[in-house]
Chain A
Amino acid sequence: MEEFILRVENVSYAYEEGAGMAVQDMNLAFRPGEMTAVLGHNGSGKSTLAKLLNGLYTPTVGKVTVCGMDTALDEHTWQIRQSAGLVFQNPDNQLVASIVRDDVAFGLENIGVPSAEMPGRIEDALRDVGMLDFIDRAPHMLSGGQKQRIAIAGILAMRPRALILDEATAMLDPKGRREVFSVVERLNREQGITVVWITHFMEEAARCRRVIVMDQGKCVMDGTPAEVFTQAERLRAMRLDVPPMVALGDLLRARGLRIPREAMDIESMAREVLACR
């Protein structure tokens, strides 16, 4: 197995010639099985990064490779998009068919999977996102979180190595957000799918193993959540907040309580606070 699934080397990208760089001189690599959050304010270049990672955009300067394949070469395009699936923000605008079953089949049809093999793969994918019961429903009757899970199933059926989610929870209600995040987390844990989770929700980022912060097209921080979120001042300078539990941890530590920096979600914080008594 190769060392990196997705690799970004000295990449810059401009939407138009002469326009400003949306992504500037970026170097990143994602290992197989990693779950990484990408944080950044609007216009920080995180959506551009997502589209660079599966070859929808090809870098103006530099090189992006997916499973060792260069996205700039036309002969790899479909193999790359199959290996690195991309889920978008708006659940309504990425479902193609008027029946869930047909929508999940869409990607399979495009890559030429034999018809006999499709039903099994569709059912597996829907089961993985917990939507098997909805196989004959119409997407417009489903909730946002359910639609987003269908979109994930549509990618999953193509058996990708990596899943890139470009603010997939931004338009969902809290319940839908939790549903989608836990589905992706489970896929990462159980199937070892590499996940790049682009978001501006700090709570979600805190639950990933690695956090990358982007600002003005550059990668400015890269580390574990503990490493990144302890630099609260730097985050605020980029108009980003620290997750509430991290902020709470800081306050408690300032009062002399011994709370480890790793306590970043409600459960572990509760555990640590109880342990302090």
Chain B
Amino acid sequence: MKLRIYSLILIVFLASSCTSSFDDLNTNPDKTTQATSAMLATKLILGLDATSSPSQWQNEFLVKRIFWGEQMDNYQYNRIEKGTFEYITYLMNAQKMVDFSSESDMNGYTGLYYFIKGWYFYRATMDMGDIPYVEALDVVNHRFPKYDSQKDVFKYILDDLSKANDFFSKSKQSFNGDPFYNGEPLKWQKATNVLRLKVLMALQKRADDTPDLQVKETFASIVADNILFESNDDNLQKNYSDINGQTNPYHRSSTRSIEVYAGSKMIIDPLKEYKDYRLFYYFAPAQALVDPDYLPEGQTLLLPNDWNAYNGLAVEAPFDQEQKKIATYMHNRPNDVYRLSYVGVPCIWLGYADMNFIIAEAVERGWITGNAKEYYEKGIRASFEFVRKTVPSEYNNNMPITDEYIEAYLQGEHVAYKSSGNSNDRLKQIWMQTYLAGYFHMNRDAFYNHRRTGHPAFPINPETNLNDAKDKIPVRWLYPDNESTTNKEQLLIALRNQWGTEVEDVNRLMWVIK
């Protein structure tokens, strides 16, 4: 008996001593064991561009500004497959970020929470249509969240963003962990309002028949409150640097296929036609035409600032036909600043130029009163200023953008605002400039814009179109795989509600663009 007690004590002793020492051993002293709001905020903010699936580098193919020479790309040839809700799960962390905050920075973090929430749900609904919203984040009570109609989702998004605006405006103190605005609530408030304008403009087709969303009224009041971007300095943008881990993602050391990225006719043709110097900042001249080593017989050597050294490829043409031009170095790669500089060009997620174009469209549509021409020109100027500031002069192919040049450009035949023409012509000017300014920025927006406005029109070639409907560009992503495996009942209800059938199809119009 005694022996048994001793052995029991020994076992208890051993067990307890073991566990404590294992605990010590298993704790990595280089990692934190406690999450803070600041840490969560950093991760969430840097993750804002994780919304594109599968990855951002394909988005320029999706919006037809780049032809990819590696192989036939699905997006470039109009094949859209499954979307993702994955990033909505990040919002669990966003809630924690608010929970961990202190009284002094709670308003800031709460504002950020609503901003991020609005941001992610906006992307998800724009990609797929109806999505779970109300029950999406409450997994404890709703294992099978029901889908909300897109109209309701937009209503909730607008509510969230309005709350974000309120919390940021109440916030007296900056919050930690923000690599973009240094936690400055005013800057975030401006970004929030710009996002609100974008969301409202996305609703443009439903502005008239959906009075309860108050699209025009809300838009007008945001513009009237005027807590908006005042220059490119306010942009919500991702800057890169030559520090390891923060480098420009298109640098050829990380994106090797950048060598076979080729500017498309979609963007190069208008740039050439408008005598737009951004051409020389966006692209590199065709190697074969400026480098004697590659010069084909019978061609004359050109200077990098010669307009003829830039010729877009047709994204809709048979792959091998255009790829031959890449094989002979006749294509225009992205400017060396994208390929060779670790600092690269910042990627804009919400920009001053874009904001001005959105407001110009609102004026043109009579949502607000104002001078559309002024906003339009402000937008163009902002884009030029951004380009000239972010692309160092060694990369500009000897075509410096001067103030005089910008003024002259604004008077150009195609660019000068067609004040005397009809409204549709002017809208097309605005949309074209939005498209030209968006090169390598927030590029899924250009897809949404195209879907809504149809301009600039994406070329369709039934011979090469990989979409099932040969004469169409797909307009949505399919619902994610795990929705059909784990939440099927609700998914089927959502499909029936939207299209009266249980068919999943990339060519069906969702409510917001009907």
User: Do A and B come from the same complex?
Assistant: no
